[in-house]
Amino acid sequence: MKAIVQDGFGAPETLRAMEIETPEVGPDDVLVRVHAAGVNPYDWHILRGSPYVARLMPGGLGLTRPKERIAGLDAAGRVERVGANVRGLRPGDEVFGFCPGAFAEYARTKADQLAPKPAGLSFEEAAALPLAATTALRAVQDVAEARAGQRLLVNGAAGGIGTCAVQIAAAADVEVTGVCSTGNVELVRSIGAADVVDYTEDDFTRGRPPYDAILDNVGNRSRRHLRRALTPDGTLAINAGGAPDEVIGAIGPMVGAALLDRFVRQRLRVVPTLLRRDDLLAVAALVESGRLVPVLDRGHPLSDAAEAVGYVERGHARGKVVLTVP
């Protein structure tokens, strides 16, 4: 099969298209014929081995090379084969979810990492959802605990997670303020934001009524400034990914926030990365009810994976970038 391979840490240009063996299917495995794969900041973190400290952590990125030789995580496609112990899935089923090695014609995963693809979505639209939409769902509902009538600010509202978070919160009658660049103001307003702050012209941490919760997807403001924009008992949901080639990246600020949380009235919480089927099913239900629509920036053929990952790494993607797999 064709696959995008990363044999060592480095820049996106180190990704190579190769012909390799199709994965074998064990008794608990599902083999997916990938039709589209989503590109996430996660992918360039894995590719670069950034932050460096994550290479040393249990279950981390890998010490000298990525643990997964084939890049990618988010996928949408059709079930090709199932293992003897798998129930509820059969060849031909259209699915989306978490498939390590998604930048390939076929990817092997577990049944509990997949959910039925929403019928109204293309494979490209479905591939844009798994990591971004489930993270947004968890951030809005579980970490920020945003409720109807509350005020939520989403920093990085035009990105993959941001566009999902704005829609999920707005659908729950939360008053959403989105922070984005000038060119994305109308987009963020169109997906449900009651107010939009253009960060090139305005400082959302000053001169505004405080917010009940802030979801920070960017990490470009200090905790002190973010807390200043919160109510006295508000919640800061931290989901910032840090910059490439940093030794500590976002891990340091996240640890610092967790420590400070013990001593202040406000809640400072990190949005966890969890790959759960229940979250995929919840996202699919939001899509099917019309409350969540994937926002796509651009599509690339599988062979252009390096260009797509580099574009996402530069931090200006409008919604999600996807790879189409012929």
Q: Which part of the chain has CATH 3.90.180.10? A: 2-130+275-324
Low-confidence winner among 3-12, 106-115, 276-285 (lowest mean pLDDT): 3-12
Q: Which part of the chain has CATH 3.40.50.720? A: 132-270
How far apart are alpha carbons 231 and 241 in whole angstroms? 25
Q: Are 269 and 73 in contact (CB under 8 A)?
A: no
Closest alpha carbon to 312 in 103, 110, 56: 103
**pTM metric for this prediction:** 0.91
* pLDDT of amino acid 52: 56
Tokens of residue 182, six digits: 């000038």
Residues in Cβ contact with 299 at an 8 Å cutoff, skipping those fewer than 6 apart: 36, 124, 321, 322, 323, 324
Kindly tell me if the per-residue pLDDT of 45 is higher than 50.
Answer: yes
Q: Are 50 and 246 in contact (CB under 8 A)?
A: yes
Q: What is the architecture of the domain spanning 2-130+275-324?
A: Alpha-Beta Complex (3.90)
Is domain 132-270 classified as CATH 3.40.50.720? yes
Q: What percent of the chain has pLDDT over 90?
A: 77
pLDDT single digits (tens) 295-313: 999 999 999 999 999 999 9
Q: Return phi, psi of residue 294, to 5°.
A: -60, 140
Four-residue CA torsion sign, 71, 75, 78, 81: positive
How far apart are alpha carbons 314 and 20 in whole angstroms? 30
pLDDT single digits (tens) 175-232: 999 999 999 999 999 999 999 999 999 999 998 999 999 999 998 888 899 999 999 9
Four-residue CA torsion sign, 10, 16, 18, 24: positive
Tokens of residue 37, six digits: 């794969």
Average pLDDT, the chain: 91
* pLDDT of amino acid 126: 98
Tokens of residue 249, six digits: 């990246």
Q: Are 102 and 73 in contact (CB under 8 A)?
A: yes
